[in-house]
Structure 1
Amino acid sequence: MRRRSLLGTTGFLAVVMTGVSGCGVPGVGAESADLQVYTARHYDLEAAFSEFTNQTGITVEFISGGDAELLERLKAEGEDTPADLFMTVDAGNLWNAARQGELAALESETLDQAVPEDLRDPEGSWYGLAMRARTVAYNPDAVDPEEFDAKDTYAGLADPKWKGRLCMRDATSAYTQSLVASLIDLHGRDRALEIVRGWVSNDVQIMSNDVLLLEAIDAGQCDAGISNHYYVAREQAENPDLNVSLHWASQEGAGTHVNISGAGVVEGSDNPEQARQLLEWIASEGQNAFVDASYEFPVNPDAEPEPRIAEFGEFKRMPLNAEAYGDLNAEAIDLLAEAGYE
């Protein structure tokens, strides 16, 4: 396996407090916001939260950081936490936060109608708010889409015909870990290990982020790779000449792997009703304000996808199993190590 040594964008983002819609940073003379959001999501939050404030008068501040770091902060603060909402970018992280008792169970007809059943916690502890598909990106000059296994595209990349042609994300990426956890859930550990070993045997080039992966495909350094769909959309928007196309994986099988960005109301929040109101707004009338700028798919089936990603076409998605993503995460990490996937 070849590891491409390039500077990436991974690593913990320092915790930052940002004021939204006239609500400034605490300690600089501004009044306190109505809602405090701990978020691992870093995609244009200000615009969506500002729109929510303009419509409701409820102001929002957020602290940004890594999923695990913010969850540990919640646990350490306990009943004294100022957080009202915990927002993260992986279903497994949401499941883990709920399992550890950090999220309150909600009853909301609005959320139950807006969010598909497999994209929300059955107890109402968390709800998916934006959906991302992790699928195949490829160089159309080097790949005929017929080369991809239509039934199980992820497993098909273990075929020796892809030797020296693949780029993928590193083993520390939550995207990689959740994908492998889904393969364990779908196929069992032995078959999932066989698939990952096949990727390694094909001399997969490991990239530290999806943007570098797409740049490598565009430059002809590899022919295909696995990326979140919205990175393809962003790079195409910035560079219309980008020679990268998107292929929906496993359309004749289990479907394309998806994950979510979602949130739950913090157990013991001082403002649970306002926090619930923010969740309901994002999942309903605020869906497009929340997802369009980041090119993510809305979870609400009544919301139209942003035009650029709508051009990718409709696809069959793999049902999301948040418990598997969370409960099998450690096993996925062990499997990656056993397979020699760095």
Structure 2
Amino acid sequence: MVTGTNQNSDEFIWRLLAQFAAPVNASQPSPVVFETWASDADVFSLTPHWPDANAPKKFQRSVLEKTSTGSAGPIDVPCATPGNAAVGGFPTHGTPTPCIAEEVKRNRPQFDYIVNNNLNTQAGLKAAYAKNFNVAMPTESISVKGDWVPVQTLLQWLPALGSIANIQKLYYTNTSNGVEYALVSLHVSSRQNTNWVWGTFEHQMNPGRCDDIGCYDTFGAKSPAVAPNRMAVNTQYGACDKTAQLAAVMADAKLSQVWNNYCLKSTMVDYTAADGTPYALGNSVIERIVGNGTVAASSCIACHVYASFGADGKTSPAAVAMLPYNPTGKPIPAVLEGSLQFDFMWGVLLAPPPKAQ
């Protein structure tokens, strides 16, 4: 059960999605609630601010991809060709240039906690370290990471979709800088548990959606367990038909019908099973194609536990190295020696240094 509720993690994460995927305006399908939250660029800034209701959608470079390649760059970047496109059969040539865009959104309780405690800059983190500050975000804190594909690229990747008009019927879409994007994957994390509650969603058309580790949803899917296809990669696993109980939740939240096409891959609340076997949870787009990772060797909780900062307000090289390493299982204490944890949030890597004099 999830702390403070009578729900297991699958039900809890679905109910969260029903809240943050609800349209802001009942008469318009977009934006939805999570799109109005603060981006990492809004939070980790020398001048942090909560975005205006009509702020334009901006994307950012994947932190996982950035650390995997070792190259630096700004937070806000345009849609980029993923580094591991071939593994997912994702196109690399075409017009426009095929790309996947990412955004991270943090809700108001998380934004306020980080900013009000001056944890949004390296200088603030340095001061927090000096007083041995215990970073513990409010239980209401929620983070959402979405991966988006331009509709023209999505049609190139999945020709069976047939047309952009059909994509608009099957996917949640929105526009950034005049380009229409379709949401293909979504990570969710909630501070409801001390170690957070983690879940990942994929569009039912994502190639290889249940490859490697399968798909498991005890609350929302009529087929609660879908085994991976060991005979083929990047196969289609079909629709994830919704249970009556989830259909009622979605109807109460007035979600657009497109959300019926999104599937909960699984959830996670601990590092290992009772016998010590590490849990795995990864997304076929976010970890595999964009992050250069392996789904079967990915673990949200085992990776995010290393989010931390040292006396200089920066994350240690040992902790940063855990991102491309794709850790699973219980944390390695030595990696966190001399550091304070940032409550499982890798946004700490984006805290800016003091402005040059």
What's the TM-score once normalised by structure 2's chain length?
A: 0.24
Q: Which has the higher helix share?
A: 1
Relative contact order higher in (CA < 8 Å, ≥ 6 apart): 1
What's the TM-score once normalised by structure 1's chain length?
A: 0.25
